[in-house]
């Protein structure tokens, strides 16, 4: 039996999320459907990171076990069968013990906001036409790195053993006509990035103070945070594995 990683990228607007769901179109469901058609046998995928409905990924991974030999020659044909908003980038042969989810050491997300109406990016960024104090946003982003317990930014009914995350990078930046929040952590909770963004926007609009923001983090109560930002502004930018991981697992 061979194990492969599949590197994918996708635009998530049309999908009910990453993981297979009954009676809903998902990224994993579409990819498994096409692979089964192409290879004429079912292939069960294990994902590295679950993204919510509407969320995009510049990079995500699956792994799969199969007796087949998955060659790069098949990538072109599979992409021809996939919907235009999902792309298979490559197959990566790895050792049988390699795991796309558990071996990842960090993930990085970006959330995009724009403030002047633009019909060409409305489904890839959040239109937020309000004055924002960038200094306050940056202060809030830096504050996040002082904490490890993010219970307040995890949606209810999240089935996890711990709410602790190690934030490695957290910053707001002006990028062309976007305002972008970039965050990297060893792990993320369900809805966490959107909760952080929505709550920090309240700081940026001076609806709450930095001290209020700290109190929300420390409250460990998700009813205090603001999750009301749309998924279509969020991108999974990269899934990070140890240095030399793919070479060692080849």
Residues annotated as catalytic are 52
The CA distances from residue 66 to 39, 94, 136, in Å, are 11, 12, 51
User: CA-to-CA distance for 23 and 110, rounded, in angstroms?
Assistant: 29
8 - beta bridge partners? 60, 88
Listing DSSP states for 103-150 in one string gives: T--EEEEEEEEESS--TTTTTTSEE--S---HHHHHHHHHHHTT--B-
Q: Which residue has the tokens 């307040």?
A: 152
Element containing residue 168 per DSSP (H, E): strand 167-175
User: CA-to-CA distance for 68 and 79, rounded, in angstroms?
Assistant: 18
Tokens of 194: 């959107």
217 - beta bridge partners? none
How are beta strands 106-114 and 126-127 bridged, if at all?
parallel
């Amino acid at each position: 039996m061979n194990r492969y990683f599949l590197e994918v990228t996708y635009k998530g607007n049309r999908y009910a999320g990453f993981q297979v769901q009954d009676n809903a179109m998902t990224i994993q469901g579409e990819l498994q459907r096409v692979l089964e058609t192409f290879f004429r046998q079912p292939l069960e995928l294990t994902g590295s990171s679950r993204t919510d409905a509407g969320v995009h990924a510049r990079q995500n991974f699956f792994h799969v076990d199969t007796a087949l030999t998955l060659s790069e020659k098949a990538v072109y044909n599979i992409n021809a069968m996939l919907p235009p908003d999902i792309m298979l980038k490559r197959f990566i042969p790895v050792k049988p013990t390699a795991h796309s989810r558990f071996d990842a050491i960090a993930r990085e997300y970006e959330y995009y906001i724009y403030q002047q109406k633009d019909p060409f990016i409305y489904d890839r960024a959040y239109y937020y036409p309000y004055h924002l104090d960038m200094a306050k946003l940056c202060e809030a982003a830096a504050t996040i790195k002082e904490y490890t317990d993010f219970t307040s930014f995890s949606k209810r009914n999240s089935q996890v053993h711990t709410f602790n995350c190690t934030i490695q990078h957290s910053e707001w930046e002006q990028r062309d006509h976007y305002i972008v929040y970039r965050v990297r952590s060893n792990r993320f909770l369900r809805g966490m990035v959107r909760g952080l963004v929505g709550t920090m926007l309240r700081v940026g609009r001076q609806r709450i103070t930095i001290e209020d923001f700290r109190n929300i983090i420390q409250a460990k109560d998700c009813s205090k945070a603001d999750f009301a930002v749309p998924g279509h502004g969020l991108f999974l930018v990269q899934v990070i594995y140890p240095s030399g991981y793919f070479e060692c697992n080849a």
